[in-house]
Structures are given as structure tokens and as C-alpha cells.
């Protein structure tokens, strides 16, 4: 397959960047691809998408580790405007999601506006020209609007362990799986017991000589209610689209009923807790191991995982769950704080991603040259409607601060944000606006409301620490309300909550309109 579309001149080479585009999009996962498709649908063809990898896919292109699959039901994990009748199961494996994104990209006709193998190196706001000056690995250009769709799960986070650089065996992150390395008969250490580890460990346990799983905190793991679709269902999905939409709607609303357990009263999650404890009893026979895998915080405080084979894998003779903290890594193994050294051939780091310190934020400089990362360090990671940050005119974020979910599909949130950006572009054209950014009052009100709501959520009261929280303990990743409420709040771009600069301004601030706060 040629990921660059039907133009063979784009395959294997990088076409030069135009000197200027109206909209520059960074990233070609669900966010970037959806943004491109909807821009074209609205008649906006002066845009470009830059992607450092060689095809679309984002996290589903990068995470190819053994057992990789989605923990959101298949019917919710597609664009609403491009349902996939070909899902084979109720929870999709990674390869099917990636194939879906490739197919949508090919059929959309927008791939000619993509530049693959191009890294976004820097974006700097130019106040004089009211444009973004962008530097990439393929050259420089300017853009009226910059859209970051780089995603929150795009940069692997390696563990900060003393001596890990001295290890003489193989080392790789779950999101950068080394498929050339044969694990058969090897002694393997998996660091972490999060969503990736729960999928990896059962897949490799049967082929390795020994597997040490290093657990810092036991996760809540519910049964995976997964099954292949029947022939009748697959026929209906393909030939009776209304049936698939009915499935999708029913699953969507069922998922929304979970929100109060996260945001109002954790006791409402009692059935999920009961199912998770039963999952432990079914999968593990040893009482001591059962105790060590039983969480001691409220369910939902950390990401709830789903698996039917995680606990049986930990119960295998060749698998050891290590709960003693890691002290250091030596050239040949891992040493825990009790002084025990376990020699291994491979270190697999299932240690997550940079979610509260987004690397792309270090490469974006707003008014006055301040980077987005530095501003968030000073004020806390925040964005009005999860999309715009004061001091960074014409910068839109897809999957920005406090837009993540703990219960449903991020594709729904992504589509909501895409619609919000499109309406902003429409109003900028209609009102002859050169640049805009949220007022200080609007962004502060939005952020304060979110953090106020967070105070009663399980993520705040549940007795755990998680990747949802920043260094100050603020939950800057998740949305604390229903997804349909987020969609309502982002249905229309609210110009009145933004400071705007008109196109005809003769100097940078001549026609700048400061909205009341």
C-alpha cells in the first residue's frame, strides 16, 4: 500500500512544503486524519498535515506489541462519518484499527495534503505577520492557523532507574516493540502493570523461559467481555447500516451511565469492583498472590483495565510478580530494594507516555517567545474548551488538557474538538479575523470549573496516584463530565470569549479587541 495516496511521486520521497498554508496540522492519528477530512469537506483545501512516521495511524500505528488491542468497544472506536462494518470482534485488535485508519485515509482523497516522514521541529508565533512560522525536517513554511493533533499517547516514557543505561541485554518500550528480537527461551523483565503490560504478559508468558513482572501498584482488572461477531451481525453491519448505528448508540449510552461512579459517588462502581475481585479469584489459586494483585484504592482512581488472561498468566510457574521496588539495573539484571538480583536477557518497559508534560509543548512558542511547556509549568496545564491557550494565538489543540476519558471513546471527543475548530475557522473568515486567543477570564473560569468538579471525583478522592495527575497533583488529563455535555459545550466557537485582531490592522495591536473578563 502506498500511504501517500494515488500520486506515486509522493511515495518514498517528501514533496517540498509550500511557503504558506492557511492551516498546518501536526500528526496523522485519529485527530489529524479527522481534521484533514473535515477541512476538505468544508471546502478548506489550503492545509497541510505533517507526520514524522511513514503513514497514518498514530498510537495504533506505533503500538504493535504482542496482544495490542483496544479496551473501548469496537462500535464506538470509529469516526461517526465512517463506520466500519468489518470489525471482527466486539473489542478490536490493533491491526484492525490500523487497517481501518488506512482505509479511511485512502477513501477520503486527502492524502495528497499529507507529508509523511516529516518531523515538526518548531512553531513560533510572529506577531508582526500574525502567522505561525514553522520549521520542519523538510523545510520551513508559515501558517495562519496551527493545529496540534500530536496526541497525548505519542511519546513513550522510559523509567528513571539507576543504571538502566548500563544494561547489556535488549531494552525497548512497549510502544516501540522490537519485532526482530526473538523472546523464545529468554529471561524477560516487564516493568509496569498498566494497560500495555496486561496485554503483553499473557501473550509472551508461554514462549519465554522466565518472566518477571515488576508491579508498583496493583491495577483493577475487569473481565474482558469480548467475542467474535456472528455471521448474522457482520451481514447486518455491512448491508443494514441502521443496525450498526443502533449497536453504537446503545453502547454509547451504556458507557455514559458509568460517569456518575467516577464523578459523583464511587460507591456506584460496586458492581465493577465485585466483577474485578471475582476475576482475581477465578484466575489465581495462590492466596498470597491474590493478596498482592488486589488493589487498595477505589476502583476508577487509576485506569480500569480489562483482561481474562492477566491473572492466569501471573499464576504460571515461569512467571513471578515482583512487588518489591526496583533499586537499580545492572549490566545483567534487575536489583530490588531487598537486595535480590534477578538476571534477565530483556527489559520491556511498559511504563506509559508523557501525558502531563507533552513534548510538543516544548516546540511551540507563543507571544513573546514563551514556550507552551514553560507557560504550563508556570500556570498549570490548561486550555479553554481543551482547545486554546492564552498567549498562543491561532493555536488549536486536539486532545488538549482535560479532554481524556476513563469510560468511553476518545474518537467522540476528537470529533467534538474538530467541529469546534472548524467553527472557529468559519467565524474567522466571516468576521475577517486575523488572530484570536481566549481571554484570561474565559480560560480561568473554564479551568477553575474543571478543577472544582475534580474535587469530588474518584480520581481525586480514590486514594491513588496516576498518570492522570501532574506534579502538583492536579488532574489535567481527564474530562470530569459526560461526553455529550462536552459536545454541547463545544458545539459552537464562542468568539465573545476570545481576544481578536482584525486582518486590516496596520500594526500588530491596532485593531486588537480585548473582550471583557
Residue 307: give its domain's CATH number: 3.50.50.60
Note whether 458 and 408 are same-domain residues. yes
Enclosing domain of residue 322: 164-219+263-349
Number of domains in the chain: 2
C-alpha torsion 209→215→218→221, nearest 10: -40
Please check the confidence at residue 10 and state whether its pLDDT lies above 50.
no
Q: What is the pLDDT of residues 405-442, one digit of tens each?
A: 999 999 999 999 999 999 999 999 999 999 999 999 99
> What is the mean predicted confidence (pLDDT) over 122-147?
97
Note whether 482 and 502 are same-domain residues. yes
Note whether 148 and 195 are same-domain residues. no
The answer as to whether 225 is a domain residue is no
pLDDT at 4: 38
Note whether 128 and 168 are same-domain residues. no
Taking alpha carbons only, the member of 303, 350, 336, 339 closest to residue 202 is 350
**Mean per-residue pLDDT over the chain, rounded:** 94
pLDDT band at 15 (very low <50, low <70, confident <90, very high): confident
pLDDT at 467: 87
The answer as to whether 320 is a domain residue is yes
d(CA 424, CA 415): 14
pLDDT at 9: 33
pLDDT at 13: 64
**The pTM is what?**
0.93
In terms of C-beta distances under 8 Å and separation of at least 24 residues, what long-range contacts does 252-259 make, across chains too? 252/76, 252/408, 252/412, 255/73, 255/76, 255/407, 255/408, 255/409, 256/407, 256/408, 256/482, 256/483, 256/484, 258/407, 258/408, 259/407, 259/481, 259/482
Note whether 460 and 384 are same-domain residues. yes
Note whether 111 and 186 are same-domain residues. no
pLDDT band at 5 (very low <50, low <70, confident <90, very high): very low
Residue 334: strand pairing partners = 329, 342
The answer as to whether 471 is a domain residue is yes
> What is the mean predicted confidence (pLDDT) over 57-73?
97
Secondary structure of residue 510 in the 3-state scheme:
coil
Note whether 108 and 197 are same-domain residues. no
pLDDT at 505: 54
Number of Cβ atoms within 10 Å of the Cβ of 83: 17
pLDDT at 132: 98
Percent of the chain with pLDDT over 90: 90
Note whether 145 and 184 are same-domain residues. no
pLDDT at 356: 81
Note whether 317 and 454 are same-domain residues. no
Note whether 390 and 505 are same-domain residues. yes
Note whether 398 and 272 are same-domain residues. no
Please check the confidence at residue 508 and state whether its pLDDT lies above 80.
no
pLDDT at 506: 36
Amino acid at each position: 500500500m502506498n500511504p501517500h495516496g494515488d500520486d506515486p511521486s509522493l511515495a518514498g520521497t517528501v514533496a517540498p512544503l509550500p511557503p504558506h498554508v492557511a492551516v498546518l496540522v501536526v500528526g496523522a492519528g485519529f485527530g489529524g486524519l479527522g481534521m484533514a477530512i473535515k477541512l476538505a469537506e468544508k471546502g478548506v483545501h489550503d492545509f497541510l498535515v505533517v507526520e514524522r512516521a511513514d503513514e497514518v495511524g498514530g498510537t495504533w500505528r506505533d503500538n504493535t506489541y504482542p496482544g495490542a488491542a483496544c479496551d473501548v468497544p469496537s462500535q464506538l472506536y470509529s469516526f461517526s462519518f465512517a463506520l466500519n462494518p468489518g470489525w471482527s470482534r466486539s473489542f478490536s485488535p490493533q491491526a484492525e484499527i490500523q487497517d481501518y485508519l488506512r482505509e479511511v485515509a485512502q477513501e477520503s482523497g486527502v492524502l495528497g495534503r499529507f507529508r509523511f516522514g516529516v518531523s515538526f521541529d518548531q512553531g513560533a508565533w510572529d506577531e508582526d505577520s500574525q502567522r505561525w512560522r514553522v520549521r520542519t525536517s523538510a523545510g520551513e513554511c508559515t501558517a495562519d492557523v496551527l493545529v496540534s493533533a500530536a496526541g497525548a499517547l505519542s511519546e513513550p516514557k522510559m523509567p528513571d532507574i539507576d543504571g538502566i543505561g548500563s544494561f547489556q541485554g535488549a531494552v525497548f518500550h512497549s510502544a516501540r516493540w522490537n519485532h526482530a528480537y526473538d523472546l523464545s527461551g529468554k529471561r524477560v523483565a516487564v516493568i509496569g502493570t498498566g494497560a500495555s503490560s496486561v496485554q503483553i504478559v499473557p501473550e509472551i508468558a508461554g514462549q519465554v523461559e522466565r518472566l518477571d513482572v515488576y508491579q508498583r501498584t496493583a491495577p483493577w482488572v475487569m473481565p474482558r467481555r469480548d467475542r467474535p461477531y456472528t455471521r448474522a451481525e457482520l451481514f447486518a453491519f455491512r448491508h443494514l447500516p441502521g443496525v450498526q448505528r443502533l449497536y453504537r448508540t446503545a453502547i454509547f449510552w451504556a458507557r455514559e451511565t458509568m460517569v456518575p461512579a467516577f464523578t459523583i459517588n464511587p460507591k456506584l462502581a460496586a458492581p465493577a469492583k465485585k466483577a474485578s475481585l471475582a476475576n482475581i479469584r477465578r484466575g489465581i489459586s495462590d492466596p498470597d498472590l491474590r493478596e498482592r494483585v488486589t488493589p487498595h484504592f477505589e476502583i476508577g482512581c487509576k485506569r480500569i483495565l480489562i483482561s481474562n488472561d492477566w491473572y492466569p498468566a501471573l499464576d504460571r510457574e515461569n512467571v513471578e510478580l515482583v512487588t518489591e521496588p526496583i533499586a537499580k539495573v545492572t549490566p545483567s539484571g534487575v536489583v530490588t530494594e531487598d537486595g535480590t538480583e534477578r538476571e534477565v536477557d530483556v527489559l520491556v518497559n511498559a511504563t506509559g507516555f508523557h501525558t502531563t508534560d507533552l513534548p510538543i509543548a516544548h516546540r511551540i512558542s507563543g507571544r513573546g517567545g514563551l514556550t507552551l511547556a514553560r507557560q504550563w509549568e508556570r500556570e498549570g496545564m490548561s486550555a479553554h474548551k481543551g482547545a486554546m491557550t492564552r498567549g498562543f494565538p491561532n493555536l488549536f489543540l486536539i486532545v488538549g488538557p482535560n479532554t481524556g476519558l476513563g469510560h468511553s471513546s476518545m474518537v467522540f471527543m476528537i470529533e467534538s474538538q474538530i467541529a469546534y475548530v472548524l467553527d472557529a475557522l468559519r467565524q474567522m473568515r466571516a468576521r475577517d479575523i486575523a488572530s484570536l486567543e481566549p481571554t484570561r477570564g474565559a480560560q480561568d473560569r473554564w479551568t477553575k470549573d474543571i478543577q472544582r468538579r475534580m474535587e469530588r471525583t474518584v480520581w481525586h478522592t480514590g486514594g491513588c496516584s496516576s498518570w492522570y495527575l501532574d506534579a502538583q497533583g492536579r488532574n489535567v488529563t481527564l474530562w470530569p463530565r459526560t461526553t455529550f455535555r462536552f459536545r454541547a459545550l463545544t458545539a459552537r466557537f464562542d468568539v465573545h470569549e476570545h481576544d481578536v485582531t482584525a486582518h486590516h490592522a496596520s500594526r500588530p495591536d491596532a485593531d486588537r479587541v480585548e473582550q471583557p473578563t
